[in-house]
Amino acid sequence: MTDRAHVRALLAGRREGYSLAREFYTAPEMHELDIEAVFSNEWIFACNVAEIPHEGDYITLSIGETSVVVVRGKSGAVGAFFNTCRHRGSLICTQAAGHAKRLVCPYHQWVYELDGTLKSARQMPADFDRSAHGLRPVHVETICGMVYICIADTPPDIARFKAAVTPYIAPHHPERSKVAFSMTIVEDANWKLVIENNRECYHCIGSHPELLATLIEFALPDDPRANRDFQLLMQEKTALWDSLDLPHLPADGGTEFRCIRLPFHRGAVSFTADGRPACNKLLGDFTERDLGSVRMFRVPNNWNHFLSDHIIHFRVLPISATQTALKTTWLVHEDAVEGVDYDIDTLIEVWRATNAQDATLVEHNQRGVNSKAYTPGPYAPSEFMLTNFTNWYAQKLDDYLKPAPGREKTIRLAVAQG
């Protein structure tokens, strides 16, 4: 059996509504396949434009071994480039974030403009064609200030996602925010366990006391677990949101994305320990605090909360088969003043605690999955988003592995053990 055939056999043997076979969560070769088939072939959330507010500001991120730089260019344009020098391939920007007037390769000092064009290459012959040696561009799509990138030659469609989520998030004006705080933690778990953990709140009651002080664990307006109180709360809040022209019903994102506005517990207006505001200054042009939160998720690496007074972006990037980087960024109105309008501890307390609890949960999940005793287990009805996610994932791999005429894929599944 070939390696590719082995993965396809695993996919064919997959039971819908069940967690995946062990190898998908543990094998280094599967990690490589995920990088190729999923992360190199999808729109990846990179940052908010507020993370690169000024001309020359940049961030870098790695998709497997491929480093990308996202840079704020002249006249405010956001560009993305492969962070690989066109001379002999050195990384150009070596930090996670920085500022530069021009991008200068540290090896032999080739100098690139912020739009990727090669400005100078010292000691190269007079007839050297600089115009043929600009940085290779990466596809970029900015949605209300949220920057998504795609390193594929031909990216999948993002227009449907953009059109669907914009009405929900535009009123929060993510592009008119500023970063209050961000942190990256490395979780000892496969990225799919991190996403699966995020896609259900079945575990919340056992692990997230801070989060559940404000967050209602139901995922839909007509959640079958909901009681009369929740139904009354939904009626009340949706009447308010309708009066403000704020969309709230679930968007039809299929298995690709999810967007919905849901209320906090009665009396709570923000993700704080006591439900009180996290920032005095409301986002955008809001005058109403009680907006619940827009919960927006997009495969494969991004979930978010948009509240009346702050925004939280979560970015997932696989490091290895069993390690994942989770970056969390809290944003407030661009004019909010720390110490006057908000206090960082109050702002981040709930999700800092929740992230730490989730990190422990997924690490334990990984260790149990590593065991020879593990077999795929059934998702609960409230874990329907995990069914969506694993269906989407399986389809993505299947599409990638399909023999395509004239296109040979490199899949390095060396010793695939069943």
Q: Which of 66, 90, 355, 370 binds ligand FES (CB under 6 A)?
A: 90
CB closer to ligand FES out of 116 and 174 = 116
Q: Which of 227, 49, 68, 36 is nearest to 138 (CA)?
A: 68
Among 186, 174, 111, which residue's Cα sits nearest to residue 366? 186
CA pair distance 94, 219, nearest whole angstrom: 40
From ligand FES, Fe ion, none, interface partner of 108 (C-beta below 5 to 8 A by class): ligand FES
Question: Applying CB under 6 A, which of residues 3, 11, 66, 87 lies at the interface with ligand FES?
Answer: 87
Give the x-and-dash track for 101-140 against ligand FES (CB under 6 A): ----x-xx-x------------------------------
DSSP assignment of 43-88, as one string? Answer: -EEEEEGGGS-STTEEEEEEETTEEEEEEE-GGG-EEEEESB-TTT
Helix orientation angle between 191-198 and 344-370, rounded to the nearest 10 degrees: 120
358 contact, one of ligand FES, Fe ion, none, CB 5-8 Å limit per kind: Fe ion
Which part of the chain contacts Fe ion (CB under 5 A), choosing from 38-46, 163-171, 249-257, 351-359? Answer: 351-359
Of 195, 358, 362, 386, the one binding Fe ion (CB under 5 A) is 358
Task: Identify what 110 binds: Fe ion, ligand FES, none; CB under 5 to 8 Å per kind.
Answer: ligand FES
Choices 87-95, 321-329, 340-348, 373-381 (CB under 6 A): range interacting with ligand FES:
87-95
* Other Cβ atoms closer than 10 A to 405: 4
Task: Compose the 40-79 pattern: x for residues touching ligand FES by CB under 6 A, - for all others.
Answer: ----------------------------------------
CB 298, CB 304: distance < 8 Å: no
Rounded CA separation 211/225 (Å): 19
| Nearer to ligand FES among residue 94 and residue 375 (C-beta) | 94
Q: Which of 77, 190, 68 is nearest to 136 (CA)?
A: 68
Q: Token digits for 42?
A: 């999808």
Q: Which residues in the 350-409 window bind ligand FES by CB under 6 A?
A: none
Q: Which is nearer to ligand FES, 85 or 332 (CB)?
A: 85
User: Taking a C-beta distance cutoff of 8 angstroms, is the pair 201, 217 a contact?
Assistant: yes
Nearer to ligand FES, 94 or 227 (CB): 94
| Torsion angle of C-alpha atoms 346, 199, 144, 234, degrees rounded to 10 | -80
Q: Does 303 bind ligand FES (CB under 6 A)?
A: no
